[in-house]
Amino acid sequence: MEHIGVGLIGTGYMGKCHTLAWANVRPVFGEGPATRLVHVAETSAELAAERAEALGFEKATGDWRQLIADPEVDVVSITTPNAFHPEMAIAALKAGKHVWCEKPMAPALADAEAMAKTARASGRVAILGYNYIQNPIIRHIGSLLDLGTIGPVNHIRLEMDEDFMASAKTPFSWKNEAAAGYGALDDFAVHPLSLITTLFGPLARVFAHMSKPYPDRPTFDGGRRTVENFDIASILFELASGIPGTLAVNRAAWGRKGRLAIQIFGSLGSILFDQERMNEVQLYTTTDECANQGFRTVLAAPPHAPYDRFVPAPGHGLGFNDLKTIECRELLNAIAGAPARVIDFDRGLQIEHAVHAMAASHEGQKWIEVGTP
Ligand SMILES: NC(=O)c1ccc[n+]([C@@H]2O[C@H](COP(=O)([O-])OP(=O)(O)OC[C@H]3O[C@@H](n4cnc5c(N)ncnc54)[C@H](O)[C@@H]3O)[C@@H](O)[C@H]2O)c1
């Protein structure tokens, strides 16, 4: 494939991020199909035209179904609110398009299952926006684990925190609606789950508790609306491999801006990572002589592929948007039939099963086995 035609549905935070990835993937990696930004869809024809002009797309529509019917579109980026993902992804796959859908798959498990089933039947590539697994430092952590650098792992702890819901004055948004899912579980927990399942494999069982700091929020028309889901979740889990762990997520955590922290403890050392300092990893190993034992900081550098594709100098660092460019590259690999580091709809469904088990655990106040797709 020499050219790939891109359709983009939704042009907010993630819509721009996908556009930058599509525009950068070929110059960064120096190979693969040339990208053509063909068609963009928004909630109205006017907004779509404005966004097409700003982002560099050729055509614009206020009806996403027109974009999906466009024969010049080969792949559809879906960056709309969660509730729209199932209908849009299923329609795109049925029209023969490849799909790059933002996480989570869908608020309802049955919809996520339908998405995975449709993807399987379509023969097209369908992946989810789990960009954090693409960080070269996360890949390096995977290599350290494979090499046994910290020995057998006995405990993992994860946290994901931001503060965009920390103020009681923050207005009600689509993220507070039950239609968007359980709240912090769909918004945040799925990301650490993408790391856990990539580095360690699937979860076996979970025990969860969810809460919200504010029962209602102001609306833009001067009223108040009840918050329909949860901003905070605390989870105990056990992996299928037997490793125990904890996960805490909070989108009302003042001062935390993009924390996705992971601590991995093994019999010969420990590994610490935090996405807020995404270009470094802390490594402690007992193989250092006793007097010099301590955490050492390893900075991202060209040996941590594909860092070298962005910058030849060690320690200069990548950014959040670069992770999406790597994800885009992996998507293109998958479309070309090459090995690809992606979370496709089947793997995404495993994550959805874990999320729904957590919600069921909160409801029933007991351990819940994580179902398998
Ligand atoms: N991977 C990540 O790191 C990450 C980060 C943030 C958000 N997300 C996910 O991305 C998705 C979008 O989140 P966001 O923060 O970009 O939201 P956003 O509100 O910034 O953008 C959503 C866009 O979709 C448009 N839209 C809504 N309904 C539409 C429709 N029917 N047709 C066409 N356009 C429509 C809106 O007008 C808006 O431009 C969510 O599923 C979210 O979970 C992923």
pLDDT one-digit tens code per residue, 296-307: 999 999 999 999
pLDDT one-digit tens code per residue, 119-148: 999 999 999 999 999 999 999 999 999 999
Which residue, judged by its Cα, is nearest atom 7 of ligand 1?
14
- The pairing of beta strand 296-299 with beta strand 368-369: unpaired
CA of 80 to the centre of ligand 1 (A): 4
Pocket around ligand 1: residues whose beta carbon is below 6 Å from it?
A: 9-15, 41-43, 64, 79-82, 84, 102-103, 129, 131
Mean pLDDT in residue range 194-199 = 97
Residues 84, 160 within the same domain: no
Domain finish residue from 110, 131, 152:
131
Domain that holds residue 86: 3-131
pLDDT one-digit tens code per residue, 253-286: 999 999 999 999 999 999 999 999 999 999 999 9
Please choose, from the candidates 356, 103, 62, 134, the residue with its C-alpha nearest in 3D space to the C-alpha of residue 115.
103
pLDDT one-digit tens code per residue, 205-218: 999 999 999 999 99
pTM above 0.85, yes or no: yes
Query: What is the spatial distance between Cα 284 and Cα 288, in angstroms, rounded to a whole number?
Result: 9
Which residue, judged by its Cα, is nearest atom 18 of ligand 1?
12
Residues 65, 83 within the same domain: yes
Domain finish residue from 116, 131, 146:
131
Query: What is the spatial distance between Cα 53 and Cα 369, in angstroms, rounded to a whole number?
Result: 49
**Sequence letter at residue 258:** G
Residues 117, 160 within the same domain: no
Pocket test for ligand 1, best of 14, 76, 87, 127 (most atoms within 8 A of CB): 14
* Torsion angle defined by CA atoms of residues 61, 62, 63 and 68, in that order, rounded to the nearest 10 degrees: 30
Q: What is the CATH number of the domain that holds 354?
A: 3.30.360.10
What does pLDDT average to over the chain? 97
Residues 275, 201 within the same domain: yes
Give ∠ CA 12-335-339 in degrees, rounded to 5: 110
pLDDT one-digit tens code per residue, 6-35: 999 999 999 999 999 999 999 999 999 999
CA of 103 to the centre of ligand 1 (A): 10
CA of 279 to the centre of ligand 1 (A): 26
Q: How high is the pLDDT of residue 39?
A: 98
Residues 229, 346 within the same domain: yes
CA of 15 to the centre of ligand 1 (A): 7
